[in-house]
Amino acid sequence: MKRIGFLPRLGAAVIDWIFAGIFAGVLAAIFGVFGLGAGSAIGLAVEEIAEIESALEAAGLGAGIGAIVGLISGYVIGYFLYSLIEAFTGASPGKMVLGYKVGNEDGSAGDLSLYLKRWAIKNASSVFSILALLTGLVFLEPIGSLIGVVMFFGCFLALTDQCQALHDKIAKTAIYNNQDLT
């Protein structure tokens, strides 16, 4: 059974970057507006006993900080949520558009546990970053960064005859045309 190689997978990734950018951008705009409002309200509350001029300055500063935090968190959360589509379906929207899906190395169809395992390996850098953030274990962040670099260069293994990136080799998966999976 013919596996999908590097260039078609790169095409799916480009489609995903566009879709994810739009999705994360919309989420960032929504979070930014909420941050703007929340920051403004907090700024006014902090300066409620001060003169009106300094209260407005505090509200403006709070609104600006809130909007920035909202935009950044919207993008981070948006891209993370977008990546989960492949974790639960075996195909990112880019792969879906092109008719590709994750399967086992032998060409058989995958299941949820396979998709989740592959997602966790492929996104280990993000998983380590989230763990570092949630636990306060800051030593996990550089480990995650190192894993991210390894996984990035491991994507070029899809150029070989086996058409498997490093995360595919570890998870024992490959990408196939959807209709070819048995």
- 3-state DSSP assignment of residue 145: helix
Q: What percent of the chain has pLDDT over 70?
A: 88
Per-residue pLDDT band for 44 (boundaries 50, 70, 90) equals low
Residue type for 36, please? L
User: Pick from 157, 163, 161, 167: which is nearest to 175 by CA?
Assistant: 163
Alpha helix ranges (H) inside the chain: 6-46, 52-89, 93-98, 112-122, 124-135, 140-154, 166-171
pLDDT over 80 (residue 64): no
Round to whole Å and give the CA distance between 165 and 161: 11
The pLDDT value given to residue 87: 95
Q: Model-level pTM?
A: 0.80
Question: pLDDT for 92-137, tens place per residue?
Answer: 999 999 999 999 999 999 999 999 999 999 999 988 988 998 899 9
Residue type for 169, please? K
User: Per-residue pLDDT averaged across 77-90, rounded?
Assistant: 91
pLDDT over 90 (residue 69): no
Dihedral angle sign, alpha carbons of residues 146, 141, 84, 35:
negative
Report domain extents, the chain: 1-100, 102-176
The pLDDT value given to residue 15: 95
